[in-house]
């Protein structure tokens, strides 16, 4: 006899299958709240890329329609896209034996302006799925405009934004950095440097989308 729990799961599954796709609103939901055609038309990218000499795994390129979805999610608080974005990360073949997930930090000013850290939200879903903790040993100071700075000045400016939080006895050997969009990879490199300083021996990086430099 089916338990009430499994009946509930079947009912929510059924309900989901008759809900409209969050992107085209025409077809019904199939994968992570979007229909099969919309899912297939995302700008998929299967190979790992390098930025600043660091390997980055990403399910997609930062192209239409994903760029619009991520912008609406981040800047217009369209949090209904979170299951889709987390679903994208869940398609990645992640390295084995990750001990903790480190979401890309944002400054307090950005957090106040946006209301949430998008990388933390998607990292939390992934952490639940992998059954590993979220680790936030690095904070980010005010991010200012970098216009007019040379490449080297920009790199040093970004590195200075990342500060280790007060000493924490907890150390993880293999961590996964989670970010939303990676462009030049300079924030990833700055966070990566901090994690090396903290004694991490293996640092993997996953993001939703990689943009062309
Ligand atoms: Zn659709």
Q: How far is residue 54 from each of residues 11, 26, 49, 182, measured CA to CA in Å?
A: 44, 40, 8, 11
Q: What is the DSSP string of 110-156?
A: HHHHHSS-HHHHHHHHHHHHHT--B---EEE------TT--HHHHHH
Phi, psi of 154 (to 5 degrees): -65, -45
Q: What distance in angstroms lies between residue 118's CA and the mean position of ligand 1's atoms? A: 23
Q: What distance in angstroms lies between residue 130's CA and the mean position of ligand 1's atoms? A: 28
What single-letter DSSP state applies at residue 173? S
Q: What's the farthest any 2 CA atoms get from each other in the chain?
A: 69
Q: What distance in angstroms lies between residue 34's CA and the mean position of ligand 1's atoms? A: 5
Q: What distance in angstroms lies between residue 65's CA and the mean position of ligand 1's atoms? A: 11
Q: How far is residue 72 from each of residues 30, 69, 81, 141, measured CA to CA in Å?
A: 22, 5, 9, 24
Q: What distance in angstroms lies between residue 83's CA and the mean position of ligand 1's atoms? A: 14
Q: What distance in angstroms lies between residue 209's CA and the mean position of ligand 1's atoms? A: 20
Q: What distance in angstroms lies between residue 45's CA and the mean position of ligand 1's atoms? A: 19
| Predicted local confidence at residue 1, as pLDDT | 56
| Predicted local confidence at residue 169, as pLDDT | 76
Consecutive H or E run containing 82? helix 82-89
Domain 42-210 CATH class label: alpha beta
Q: What is the pLDDT of residues 178-210, one digit of tens each?
A: 999 999 999 999 999 999 999 999 999 999 999
Give bridge partners of residue 182 from the DSSP assignment: 210
Q: What distance in angstroms lies between residue 33's CA and the mean position of ligand 1's atoms? A: 9
Q: What distance in angstroms lies between residue 202's CA and the mean position of ligand 1's atoms? A: 38
pLDDT tens string, the chain, 213 residues long: the values are 556 778 888 887 777 678 899 999 988 888 899 999 999 999 999 778 999 999 999 999 999 999 999 999 999 999 999 999 999 999 999 999 999 999 999 999 999 999 999 999 999 999 999 999 999 999 999 877 777 778 788 888 899 999 998 777 778 999 999 999 999 999 999 999 999 999 999 999 999 999 988
Q: What distance in angstroms lies between residue 27's CA and the mean position of ligand 1's atoms? A: 5
Q: What distance in angstroms lies between residue 92's CA and the mean position of ligand 1's atoms? A: 21
Strand 202-210 to 174-182 pairing: parallel
Report the SS3 class of residue 68: helix
| Predicted local confidence at residue 3, as pLDDT | 66
Q: How far is residue 180 from each of residues 4, 30, 52, 89, 122, measured CA to CA in Å?
A: 37, 23, 17, 10, 8
Q: Is residue 138 within 8 Å of residue 106, measured between CB atoms?
A: no
Q: What distance in angstroms lies between residue 21's CA and the mean position of ligand 1's atoms? A: 5
| Predicted local confidence at residue 166, as pLDDT | 77
Q: Where are the domains of the chain?
A: 1-40, 42-210
Q: What distance in angstroms lies between residue 5's CA and the mean position of ligand 1's atoms? A: 29
Q: Which of 194, 211, 209 is nearest to 59 (CA)?
A: 209
Alpha-carbon distance of 181 to 160, in angstroms, equals 20
Q: What distance in angstroms lies between residue 128's CA and the mean position of ligand 1's atoms? A: 27
Q: What distance in angstroms lies between residue 99's CA and the mean position of ligand 1's atoms? A: 36
Q: Is residue 162 within 8 Å of residue 142, measured between CB atoms?
A: no
């Amino acid at each position: 006899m089916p338990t009430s729990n499994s009946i509930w799961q079947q009912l929510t599954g059924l309900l989901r299958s008759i809900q409209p796709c969050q992107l085209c609103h025409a077809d019904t939901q199939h994968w992570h709240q979007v229909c099969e055609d919309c899912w297939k038309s995302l700008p998929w990218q299967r190979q790992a890329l390098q930025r600043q000499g660091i390997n980055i795994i990403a399910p997609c390129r930062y192209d239409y329609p994903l760029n619009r979805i991520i912008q609406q999610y981040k800047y217009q608080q369209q949090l209904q896209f979170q299951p889709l974005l987390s679903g994208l990360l869940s398609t990645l073949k992640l390295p084995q034996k990750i001990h903790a997930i480190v979401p890309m930090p944002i400054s307090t000013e950005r957090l106040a302006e946006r209301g949430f850290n998008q990388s933390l939200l998607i990292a939390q879903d992934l952490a639940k799925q992998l059954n590993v903790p979220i680790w936030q040993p690095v904070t980010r100071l005010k991010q200012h405009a970098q216009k007019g700075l040379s490449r080297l000045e920009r790199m040093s400016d970004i590195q200075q934004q990342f500060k280790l939080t007060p000493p924490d006895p907890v150390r993880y050997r293999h961590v996964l950095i989670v970010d939303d969009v990676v462009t030049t990879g300079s924030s990833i490199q700055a966070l990566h440097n901090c994690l090396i300083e903290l004694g991490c021996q293996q640092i993997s990086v996953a993001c939703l989308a990689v943009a062309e430099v």
